[in-house]
């Protein structure tokens, strides 16, 4: 019975600062043990939503439930959540052990119990040799572990991570990313993780919640979002390099096929979208950089090469259509077309996203 109660539920949550709405009717359900990433650009409301979940900010409307209990108006400590702050928020005057054991100390737990649990958490994070050090004697990565340790030791119902990797250098970031994922597998608690970095989201999340301007744009597993974005924003926000967005005009739209003209000379034939578009309409299509192949035959688009970047395992080619629109290609392996040369690009029709006037993906298929 208890298995059916989700770890977290938000219903119609809204919040405004003065006249500006930062969260607009947020609905979200998170199952127990899930690792959910809130992803979006700066100012999309993801950090605000996390602070509201923690109880650090009040909400204007709606409700929160944690494991079935309404915590909308509960004090932060009563929600049984632990948060890892972007700045880590370690207490500079306390050593690592005191930082990790702070919550138990103020709850007046016996010293032996505090020491035991602090050591257990430190062992999980491999920082047991640092317990007597002050934060200023720690590296960025070590501080980050201490902050996580402070969360682990409480064994909360939900872990909240607010962009915890943004202060680390690139190498340490990818290393810590893997460690947090491992930690999640090991302890199994529900985790909500805020980031603007789509690589973190794609690699860590069970499900990603893409947000923009206070609204949830789409929720789903990483590949589900990548392969089947609901709209133009989700399509461009996920993927690096970003999806190519190209203007195309509809030449034919019937129950059999959708024929598009791309640039002056390119023509693409796609599966039908049931006449949702009319001939002559100018629309936008999305093509992932890795959806191109170089070849000849039907459904080709001619381009001119602007710049080639050799990455060893793949080649990134920046090129232009004959009407000046730019494209980025990711071609597996090593090829080296001369700058200024022409290429014929082939694109698998089923991998092309078609966006209507309202930026919705006309080929989006909602899962039931």
The helix (H) or strand (E) run that includes residue 258 is strand 257-262
Structure tokens at 82: 């632990």
Q: Residue 130, interface with other proteins (CB under 8 A)?
A: no
Give the range of 99-107, 223-231, 296-304, 350-358 binding other proteins by CB under 8 A. 99-107
Map tokens 């190519």 to a residue.
Answer: 244
- Please state, in angstroms and rounded to a whole number, the distance separating the CA atoms of residues 289 and 182: 30
Q: Work out the end-to-end distance of the chain between its first and last CA atoms, rounded to an integer number of angstroms.
A: 23
Give the range of 37-45, 87-95, 286-294, 327-335 binding other proteins by CB under 8 A. 87-95
Closest to other proteins by CB, 57 or 224 = 57
Cis peptide before 241 (omega within 30 of 0): yes
Q: How far is the CB of 156 from other proteins (least distance, A)?
A: 9
From residue 146 to residue 175, the character string flagging contacts with other proteins as x (rule: CB under 8 A) and all else as - is ----x---x---------------------
Q: Give the residue, chosen from 4, 18, 42, 92, that forms a contact with other proteins under the rule CB under 8 A.
A: 92
From residue 62 to residue 81, the character string flagging contacts with other proteins as x (rule: CB under 8 A) and all else as - is -------------xxxx--x
Q: What are phi and psi of 8, to 5 degrees?
A: -150, 140
Q: Give the residue, chosen from 107, 223, 348, 357, that forms a contact with other proteins under the rule CB under 8 A.
A: 107
From residue 45 to residue 64, the character string flagging contacts with other proteins as x (rule: CB under 8 A) and all else as - is ---------xxx--------
Q: Residue 134, interface with other proteins (CB under 8 A)?
A: yes
Q: How far is the CB of 350 from other proteins (least distance, A)?
A: 47
Q: Write the DSSP string, 305-356.
A: EEEEEE-SSEEEEEEEETTS-EEEEEEES---PPTT-EEEEEE-GGG-EEE-
- Please state, in angstroms and rounded to a whole number, the distance separating the CA atoms of residues 28 and 64: 10
Q: Residue 93, interface with other proteins (CB under 8 A)?
A: yes
Q: How far is the CB of 110 from other proteins (least distance, A)?
A: 17
Q: How far is the CB of 77 from other proteins (least distance, A)?
A: 3
- Please state, in angstroms and rounded to a whole number, the distance separating the CA atoms of residues 209 and 229: 12
3-state SS, 42-53, equals CCCCHHHHHHHH
Q: Give the residue, chosen from 102, 159, 226, 292, that forms a contact with other proteins under the rule CB under 8 A.
A: 102
- Please state, in angstroms and rounded to a whole number, the distance separating the CA atoms of residues 263 and 287: 14
Closest to other proteins by CB, 85 or 364 = 85
Sheet holding 257-262, edge to edge: 266-271, 257-262, 244-253, 282-287, 353-355
Map tokens 């108006």 to a residue.
Answer: 73
Q: How far is the CB of 54 from other proteins (least distance, A)?
A: 6
Residues in contact with other proteins by CB under 8 A are 54-56, 75-78, 81-83, 85, 87, 89, 91-94, 102-103, 106-107, 134-136, 150, 154
């Amino acid at each position: 019975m208890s298995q059916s109660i989700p770890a977290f539920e938000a219903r119609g949550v809204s919040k405004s600062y003065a006249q500006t709405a930062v969260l607009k009717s947020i609905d979200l359900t998170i199952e127990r043990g899930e690792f959910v990433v809130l992803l979006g650009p700066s100012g999309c409301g993801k950090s605000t939503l996390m602070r509201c979940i923690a109880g650090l900010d009040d909400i204007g409307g709606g409700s929160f439930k944690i494991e079935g209990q309404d915590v909308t108006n509960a004090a932060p400590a009563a929600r049984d959540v632990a948060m890892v702050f972007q700045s880590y928020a370690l207490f500079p005057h306390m050593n690592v052990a005191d930082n990790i054991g702070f919550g138990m100390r103020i709850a007046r737990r016996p010293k032996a119990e505090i020491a035991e649990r602090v050591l257990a958490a430190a062992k999980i994070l491999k920082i047991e040799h640092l317990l007597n050090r002050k934060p200023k004697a720690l590296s960025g990565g070590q501080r980050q572990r201490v902050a996580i340790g402070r969360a682990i030791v409480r064994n909360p119902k939900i872990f909240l991570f607010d962009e915890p990797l943004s202060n680390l250098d690139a190498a340490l970031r990818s290393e810590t990313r893997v460690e947090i994922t491992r930690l999640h597998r090991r302890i199994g608690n529900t985790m909500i993780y805020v980031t603007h970095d789509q690589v973190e989201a794609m690699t860590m999340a069970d499900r990603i919640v893409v947000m923009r301007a206070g609204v949830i744009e789409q929720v789903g597993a990483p590949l589900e979002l990548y392969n089947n974005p609901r709209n133009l924003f989700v399509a461009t926000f996920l993927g690096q390099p970003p999806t190519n967005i190209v203007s195309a005009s509809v030449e034919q739209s019937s129950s059999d096929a959708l024929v598009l003209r791309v640039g002056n000379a390119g023509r693409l034939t796609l599966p039908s979208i049931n006449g949702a578009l009319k001939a002559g309409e100018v629309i936008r299509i999305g093509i992932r950089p890795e959806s191109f192949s170089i070849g000849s035959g039907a459904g080709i688009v001619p381009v001119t090469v602007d710049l080639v970047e050799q990455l060893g395992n793949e080649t990134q080619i920046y090129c232009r259509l004959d009407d000046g629109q730019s494209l980025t290609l990711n071609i597996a392996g090593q090829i080296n077309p001369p700058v200024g040369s022409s290429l014929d690009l082939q694109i698998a029709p089923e991998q092309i996203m078609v966006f209507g006037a309202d930026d919705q993906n006309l080929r989006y298929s909602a899962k039931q």
